[in-house]
Amino acid sequence: MQKRTLGKSNLEVSALGLGCMGMSYAYGPAPDKQEMIQLLRMAVERGMTFFDTAESYGPYVNEELVGEALAPYRENVVIATKFGFHFGPNAERLGLSSKPEHIKHVVEGSLKRLRIETIDLYYQHRVDPEVPIEDVAGTVKELIEAGKVKHFGLSEAGAQTIRRAHAVQPLTAVQSEYSLWTRDPEAEALPTCEELGIGFVPFSPLGSGFLTGKIATTTTFDPSDIRTSYPRFAPEARQANQALVDLLGRIAEQKKATTAQIALAWLLAQKPWIVPIPGMRKLERLDENMGAAGVELTSDDLREIESAASKIKVQGSRLPDAILKMTGR
């Protein structure tokens, strides 16, 4: 697979990474662990080198899965994980915490679960309004100096927070939701990353599955699926947003590709330092998504997509209000 470098850093990764969250939780019942281990290893064998997890996915179990699966390939992969929440004795989420002492404590757990000595890319999962970002960046800087972390990142952070953090410890990557139906980063985050030489990692690049064209207004989700609480996945919103999927489908037909491949190829065409991390739980989805790196969208294709997309108003908030309040700080 083609490689990309995240911003001005020396961190080279595959052009597409793998978002591992759904392998353990969030999108209905978790799949079989051994099947997911096998899938992760197949991804490496096919040339994927960038894997994204977090202590909060589960919590903890996703890091354990990724650690076990990738242990035989440690020298050939880049593993990103995240800090920023604290949990109770029964692993219940109690809220945000990026206090320096907390970061120094939880990094040890992540290292152990991931079976590694150094975290390649360590993101603050959500900005903690109670802790100055300079303190967070300074703490990660100490972890880098101690050899426990190589690169620093932020997730769902606003432009000013990105600048303030970068001034203390240069950021390698910023991660936020970005796709043809979530274009918020284009206003401030992407220009800021470009100015400062920071890579950008879109999560949910397929709109949590909607942009694959495989979710209809009649599709039902398991009660444990987080999409049941997303306004954008309400049946009436799905019906309105189908126009975007239809647009991707038309381009896909021209390119002899799939709808999902066009959605990913569009992201790859935006900037050479953008590395999407779609989630996947099946081998056929892995092969399909990796195939997106070989789909070339010409400037005419991109203009056609932009022109048509500009006429489509996406319906529904991407997240529930309570979660949305934690983003863009």
At residue 102 the predicted structure's pLDDT band, cuts being 50, 70 and 90, is very high
CATH topology of domain 3-324: TIM Barrel (3.20.20)
Residues 6+ apart with CB under 8 A from 30: 23, 24, 61
The per-residue pLDDT for 232 is 97
pLDDT tens string 239-298 = 999 999 999 999 999 999 999 999 999 999 999 999 999 999 999 999 999 999 999 999
Mean pLDDT of 67-88: 98
Q: Which residues pair with 78 in a beta bridge?
A: 50
Look at residue 268 in the predicted model and tell me its pLDDT.
98
Cross-strand partners of 123:
82, 153
Sign of CA dihedral 306, 307, 310, 312: negative
Confidence at residue 144, expressed as pLDDT on a 0 to 100 scale = 98
Looking at residue 46, its amino acid is: R
pTM across the whole model: 0.98
Q: Where are the domains of the chain?
A: 3-324
Q: pLDDT digit string (tens) for 126-137? A: 999 999 999 999
Looking at 25, 27, 57, 123, which residue is catalytic?
Answer: 57
57 classed as catalytic:
yes
Average pLDDT in the 154-177 region?
98
Q: Which residues does 237 contact at the CB level (< 8 Å), separation at least 6?
A: 231, 315, 316
